[in-house]
Amino acid sequence: MVRQTSIEEFMKNFKDQEAEDRAAGGSGEFEERTTLKAERDQVYAGYYIESYQGGIQGNYGPNTAIRVTSPEGAKETLWVNGFEETHFQNFLKKLVDAGTVAVDEKGNLDAPLKVDFLRTQQQSEKGNTYNRIMFVLQASGEEAQMELDSL
């Protein structure tokens, strides 16, 4: 048989449990982000990549949402697809293989990456134009985390 408790006792127990759960995991709060509409042929310097999520179905196929923080501290999402998605994955794979960063199955990085990036168009050997995004790593690990925390 289940012991009956008062609402006050139940709420106290619930709040205690909720505080323990919050300390053990994320806040459960959704972090508000705006979409970063990165223009072509403009360098975006000093952005912090915090995490990403691939396989999001969009109007033109699968997309990857890259969660970034601007140098001013604005929380934004940079969307890439097609060749740009491949370029991002290759950049990230290179860093993972080098041991610069670790990524879990959800796309969370063990530490932020401070990068500069450029979105442009290039021509293939066959003369076709394609979208390209290029990343240059500026900092990672504790250094990038301290800078991001100071924003």
Specify the DSSP element, H or E, that contains 7: helix 7-24
What is this structure's pTM?
Answer: 0.78
Distance CA 46, CA 72 (A): 9
* Residue-level pLDDT, tens digit, the chain, 151 residues: 456 678 888 888 888 887 777 666 555 556 789 999 999 999 999 999 999 999 999 888 899 999 999 999 999 999 999 999 999 999 999 999 999 999 998 889 999 999 999 999 999 899 999 999 999 999 999 999 999 999 8
Residue 9 lies in a domain: no
Q: What is the pLDDT of residue 148?
A: 94
Number of structural domains, the chain? Answer: 1
Give the structural domain span for 73: 33-149
Residue 110 lies in a domain: yes
Residue 130 lies in a domain: yes
Residue 59 lies in a domain: yes
Residue 129 lies in a domain: yes
Q: What is the pLDDT of residue 22?
A: 65
Residue 89 lies in a domain: yes
Q: How far is CA 108 from CA 43, 51, 113, in A?
A: 25, 5, 11
Residue 117 lies in a domain: yes
Residue 142 lies in a domain: yes
Distance CA 151, CA 134 (A): 24
